[in-house]
């Protein structure tokens, strides 16, 4: 009887943990899906290859003007496009020279515009701006504030013509739906400071 009970208990635990793992995986996929598109920007390093043509395979860097250069087709706009959109653009232009040749585009290194979050947040550090971001979004990416953060004294430091501009940010007001103008769109190189 005890042996039967132990076997039943073991089987139940295996089913329970198996289902939990499946649910955890489903939640992770669901969490990654919204807004998970990555948009290319200056500094990104890409590898572009045309199937069965080594002469048309190379690494390129997205220039500050947002374009890349590729043999036969010249300049192509990469900034603001997803990897699949860029692949389609390159494929569309290159088919005049190499018909029916699939093109592959891979991101080798992300160098797109970055913002920094420092101070009393759960995960301070550098964050890639794969798309336009506002202050509240970056604070969420940084895992929110620690219990001792002065959430109403946050500042955004921005480089401005060799100097610096400082923008105040009162988290409580914005979270309550008031003074939403403070939730500015961040620019590359901005630093969000949470004291």
Q: Is residue 132 located within the same domain as residue 60?
A: no
Does some domain include residue 83? yes
Res 130: pLDDT: 66
Predicted confidence pLDDT, tens digits, the chain (195 residues): 545 544 444 444 444 444 433 333 333 332 233 345 677 878 889 999 888 788 788 899 998 888 999 888 889 999 888 899 999 999 988 888 888 878 989 988 877 778 999 999 999 998 887 678 899 999 999 999 999 999 999 999 998 777 899 999 999 999 999 989 999 988 888 999 999
Q: Is residue 184 located within the same domain as residue 121?
A: yes
- Give pLDDT tens digits for 111-141: 777 899 999 999 999 888 767 889 999 999 9
Domain range for 187? 114-194
Res 183: pLDDT: 92
Token digits for 89?
């653009």
pTM tops 0.75, yes or no: no
Burial of 16 (0-12, 13-18, 19+ CB in 10 A): exposed
Q: Is residue 190 located within the same domain as residue 119?
A: yes
Q: DSSP characters for 24-36? A: HHHHHHHHHSTT-
Q: How many helices (H) and strands (E) does the chain have?
A: 4, 10
Measured CA to CA, the distance from residue 60 to residue 177 in angstroms comes to 44
Q: Is residue 62 located within the same domain as residue 94?
A: yes
Does some domain include residue 34? no
Q: Of 85, 109, 133, which one is at a domain's C-terminal end?
A: 109
Q: Is residue 79 located within the same domain as residue 131?
A: no
Backbone angles phi, psi at 118, to 5 degrees: -125, 160
Q: Is residue 132 located within the same domain as residue 176?
A: yes
The total number of structural domains in the chain stands at 2
- Taking a C-beta distance cutoff of 8 angstroms, is the pair 155, 166 a contact? yes
Does some domain include residue 9? no
Buried residues in 50-77 as b, exposed as e (16+ CB within 10 A): beeeeebeeebbbeeebbbebeebeebe
Q: Of 75, 94, 109, which one is at a domain's C-terminal end?
A: 109
Q: Is residue 104 located within the same domain as residue 119?
A: no
């Amino acid at each position: 009887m005890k042996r039967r009970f132990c076997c039943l208990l073991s089987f139940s635990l295996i089913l329970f943990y198996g289902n939990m793992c499946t649910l955890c995986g489903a939640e992770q996929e669901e969490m990654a899906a919204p807004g998970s598109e990555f948009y290319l920007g200056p500094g990104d390093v890409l590898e572009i290859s045309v199937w069965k043509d080594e002469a048309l395979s190379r690494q390129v860097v997205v220039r500050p003007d947002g374009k890349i250069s590729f043999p036969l087709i010249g300049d192509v706009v990469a900034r603001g496009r997803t990897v699949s959109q860029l692949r389609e653009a390159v494929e569309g232009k290159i088919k005049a020279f190499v018909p029916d040749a699939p093109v592959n585009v891979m991101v080798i290194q992300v160098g797109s515009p970055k913002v920094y979050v420092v101070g009393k947040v759960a995960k301070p550090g550098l964050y890639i701006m794969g798309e336009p971001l506002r202050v509240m979004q970056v604070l969420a990416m940084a895992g929110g504030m620690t219990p001792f953060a002065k959430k109403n004294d946050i500042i955004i430091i921005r480089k401005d013509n060799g100097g610096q501009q400082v923008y105040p940010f009162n988290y409580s007001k914005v979270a309550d739906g008031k003074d939403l103008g403070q939730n500015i769109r961040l620019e590359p190189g901005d630093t969000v400071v949470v004291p």
